[in-house]
């Protein structure tokens, strides 16, 4: 089959709610760690999203916007708990939508994945400790009152994001964050209405989405980021995912982004856990997307591994996905995705990255790309040969200073 270059990627997408995205290219969520001491955007974040708005992508998704400043994913997260600071957030959304693209807020709660730089008293569905480099304290199992508080916070944050000018929201229920912790039998051993069967484990997510829809209205895009699996024995698996997707299908959400893994098995961040068959298809999680395409009409998005223009065109033209998510390409080539759109580049090369200390490799990678993002925000040139050791030191020091000393 012959594919006309750019034709599919540049077609618009009408979502179930009626909103329209101008093309099929999405900048997926990447945590920015740039918020000021009040957990609000600064001029660097406004500059960063202004640049990404001008890039040509039809959809930008923010990094984690936290619903509770006590339980952050990173010390530099934006936090929106109420209407305080909405005017400041709106400066970022104005910059991030200035080229006619959508800009959605990814809304999240870290749960037990709140690092010690954020809290020594994390909460989670159950008191199951995340043991990774001594960066996480043991969580306390949430009370029913705390579950209701979290639900209220998600809804409040979603509504305030709309007020601040975001054109949609994405609820983060993947990568081992709090809603993902509820979904997994490995981290949720509760014996009440929020634990046990997958129907009960998915209850909080469904309740949050239902209440958000009531608050934001029928024409405002609501997306979900969901794991295909945790890739851990005894954890959330494909069968669980099929059940949850069935629930989301009935709720008619506007976009489902498929990912996978947790902090204990970081499939979403590295290639090390990919199956050979998936590697042959270039992108991560495409096998799972093919399976659920048969059971849902929700517009689908996969992020991770897309590197060639021809493959992106094939996936969209065949109807396998509605949106293609890119993350690191935005940090590897400042002209991306314009270089795809104008045909100047047909393949994005990955960074050459090797780190000998296996237990810290994911931290080194995260620190490396965090550094590149901060350089873009400050109008500095990328540094592709930046040391991974320096990356770990820089990111850890910044987290410590922002978390403990300001």
Q: Which helix (H) or strand (E) holds 181?
A: helix 178-183
Of the ranges 179-193, 273-287, 381-395, the best mean pLDDT one: 179-193
Q: Is 287 buried (19+), middle (13-18) or exposed (0-12) by CB count in 10 A?
A: middle
Q: How confident is the model at residue 235 (pLDDT cuts 50, 70, 90)?
A: confident
User: How many alpha carbons lie under 13 Å from residue 387 in its C-beta half-sphere?
Assistant: 5
- Residue 282 has phi, psi (to 5 degrees) of 75, -55
**Nearest 5°: phi and psi at 258?**
-95, 130
Q: How far apart are CA 231 and CA 330, in angstroms?
A: 27
Q: What is the pLDDT of residue 267?
A: 47
- Tens of pLDDT along 214-233? 999 999 999 999 988 766 66
- The pLDDT tens digits of the residues spanning 93-148 come to 999 999 999 999 999 999 999 999 999 999 999 999 998 778 899 999 999 999 99
* 1 pLDDT above the threshold of 70: no
Q: What is the residue-averaged pLDDT of the chain?
A: 90
Mean local confidence (pLDDT), 347-371 = 84
Class at the top of the CATH hierarchy for domain 13-350 = alpha beta
Q: Residues 2-51: pLDDT tens digits?
A: 334 557 899 999 999 999 999 999 999 999 999 999 999 999 999 999 99
Residue 346's pLDDT is 85
- Separation between Cα atoms, residue 282 and residue 300, nearest integer Å: 17
Burial class (CB in 10 A: 0-12, 13-18, 19+), 25: buried
So what's the pLDDT on residue 300? 97
Question: Average pLDDT, stretch 253-266?
Answer: 77
Parallel, antiparallel or unpaired: strands 59-66 and 25-27: parallel
Q: What is the pLDDT of residues 279-329, one digit of tens each?
A: 445 667 888 899 999 999 999 999 888 889 999 999 999 999 999 999 999
What is the C-alpha to C-alpha distance for residues 140 and 189, in angstroms, rounded to an integer? 13
Ranges 56-65, 241-250, 338-347: which has the least confidence = 338-347
DSSP string across 344-391: S-SBPPPP----S-GGGHHHHHHHHHHHHHHHHHTT----TT--HHHH
Residue 207's pLDDT band, with cuts at 50, 70 and 90, is very high
Torsion angles phi and psi, residue 326, rounded to 5: -125, 140
pLDDT of residue 3: 39
């Amino acid at each position: 089959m012959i594919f006309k270059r750019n034709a599919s990627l540049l077609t618009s997408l009408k979502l179930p709610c009626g909103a329209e995205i101008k093309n099929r290219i999405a900048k997926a969520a990447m945590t920015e760690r740039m918020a000021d001491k009040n957990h609000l955007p600064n001029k660097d974040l406004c500059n960063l999203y202004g640049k990404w708005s001008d890039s040509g992508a039809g959809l930008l998704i923010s990094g984690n916007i936290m619903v509770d400043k006590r339980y952050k994913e990173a010390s530099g997260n934006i936090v929106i708990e109420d209407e305080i600071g909405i005017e400041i957030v709106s400066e970022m959304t104005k910059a991030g939508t200035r080229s006619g693209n959508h800009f959605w807020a990814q809304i999240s709660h870290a749960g037990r994945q709140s690092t010690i730089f954020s809290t020594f008293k994390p909460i989670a569905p159950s008191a199951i400790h995340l043991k990774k480099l001594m960066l996480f304290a043991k969580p306390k199992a949430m009370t029913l009152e705390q579950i209701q508080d979290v639900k209220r916070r998600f809804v409040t944050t979603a509504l305030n994001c709309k007020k601040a000018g975001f054109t949609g929201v994405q609820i983060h229920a993947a990568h081992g964050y709090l809603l993902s912790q509820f979904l997994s039998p490995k981290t949720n051993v509760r014996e009440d209405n929020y634990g046990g069967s997958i129907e009960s484990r998915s209850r909080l997510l469904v309740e949050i989405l239902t209440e958000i829809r009531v608050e934001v209205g029928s024409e405002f895009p609501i997306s979900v980021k969901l794991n295909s699996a945790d890739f851990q024995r005894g954890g959330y698996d494909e069968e669980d995912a099929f059940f949850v997707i069935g629930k989301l299908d009935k709720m008619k959400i506007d976009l489902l982004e498929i990912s996978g893994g947790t902090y204990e098995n970081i499939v979403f961040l590295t290639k090390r856990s990919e199956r050979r068959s998936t590697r042959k298809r270039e992108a991560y999680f495409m096998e799972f997307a093919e399976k659920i395409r048969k059971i849902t009409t929700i517009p689908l998005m996969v992020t991770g591994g897309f590197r060639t223009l021809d493959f992106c065109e094939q996936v969209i033209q065949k109807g396998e996905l509605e949106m293609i998510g890119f993350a690191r390409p935005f940090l590897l080539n400042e002209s991306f995705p314009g270089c795809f759109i104008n045909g100047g580049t047909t393949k994005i090369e990955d960074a050459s990255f090797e780190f000998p200390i296996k237990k810290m490799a994911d931290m080194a990678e995260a620190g490396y790309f965090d550094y590149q993002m901060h350089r873009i925000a400050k109008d500095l040139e990328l540094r592709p040969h930046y040391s991974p050791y320096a990356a770990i030191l820089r990111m850890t020091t910044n987290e410590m200073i922002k978390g403990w000393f300001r």
